[in-house]
Structure formats: structure tokens, C-alpha cells
Amino acid sequence: MALKALWVRTTRTDRYLILLLVLVAFTSLFLSFGRTAGKQLVIYADEKIVFTGPLTRDRLLELQGPLGETQVEISAGQVRVVSSPCPRKICIGMGSVWRSGDLLACVPNRVVVRIEGEGKKGYDLLSR
């Protein structure tokens, strides 16, 4: 009732101001949602960014390094190295990554894959 009484007493300017406040609140809410957009993949070859893209689009990436071509596959939201010219194939053995902050690297061929964006994995850094 008190609210209704207050509303009756408002002028047109008041109502414009209320509308403006509501718009500002919704805009900031929308922008904050935009900041927590999905995870993305960043690939470095020889310490330079050569690819960035979402994890949601399946594709096969062919990356050139000093030893030859490393193939990185994005499939079902996960990333893995499927082929590499390095001798020990440790990068292939590392399997798939998908959590924010995860890293995948082929050190001999100087290719690094990093997952960026929001996501919880229960720790900041992994000691191994």
C-alpha cells in the first residue's frame, strides 16, 4: 500500500529515472554474463599464439613446429594431440584436456595448448 501511495506521488521525471535505473541494472547484469562466456582454446607454436577458438566446435588443427606437423583435435569439448613428429609421443600420451587452466604440450615440437575461461577443477596448480 505504501508503495502504491509513493507511486501516485511520483512525477513523469521520476518514472523516467526509475526506468533508467532498471535499464542500467539489466545492462550491467547482461555484461557480467558476457564476461563468463564459455571456455576457449589457445594454441601457441614457438611461444606465439597461432590459434584461439571455442571448445564447442569440433575440428582438426594442423600446426607446424621445428620437427614437422602436430595435429590437435577438438572433439566433444575436449582437446588432444592425435599426431606428432616428436620421438617419444609424450604429448599424445597426455590424453585429453578440457578443464580451464589445463595445459597440453609437445616440448620438442614447441606446441602448447591451453584451455582458458571459467571453470572449476578444485585446484590452481598441479604438481607432478
Partner 1 sequence: MLNRPLLLIAALLLILLLVWFQRPAPVTEVARTALIMGTLVEIKGVGQDQKHINRAISNAFTAMRKEEERFSPQIESSRLSLLNRTTAAVMVDPQMLELLQLGQEISRQSQGAFNLGLGRLKALWNFEAEDPRVPTTAAIKAILPDPDHELVHIAGNRVTRSSGVQLDLGGIAKGYAVDQALKVLRTAGITSASVNAGGDIGLLGGHGERPWKIGIQHPRRPGEVLATLELRNQTIVTSGDYERFFIQKGVRYHHLFDPQTGLPARGCQSVSVIAPNAAEADALATAAFVLGPQKGLELLEQRPQVEGLILAADGTASVTSGLKGRIQWR
Kindly list the residues in this chain that would bind partner 1 in the complex (CB under 8 A).
6, 9-11, 13-14, 17-18, 21, 44, 47, 87-88, 94-96, 101, 103, 105, 107, 110, 112, 114, 121-128
Shortest distance in whole angstroms from residue 117 CB to partner 1: 12
DSSP code per residue over 61-116? EEEEETTEEEEEEEETTEEEEEE--SSS-HHHHT--B-STT-EEEETTTTEEEEEE
**C-beta closer to partner 1: residue 36 or 127:** 127
Closer to partner 1 by CB, 34 or 87: give it.
Answer: 87
Least Å distance, CB 118 to partner 1, is 12
Cβ at position 44, least distance to partner 1 in Å? 7
- Shortest distance, CB of residue 56 to partner 1, whole angstroms? 21
Give the strand pairing for 111-116 and 103-106.
Answer: antiparallel
Three-state secondary-structure class, residue 117: coil
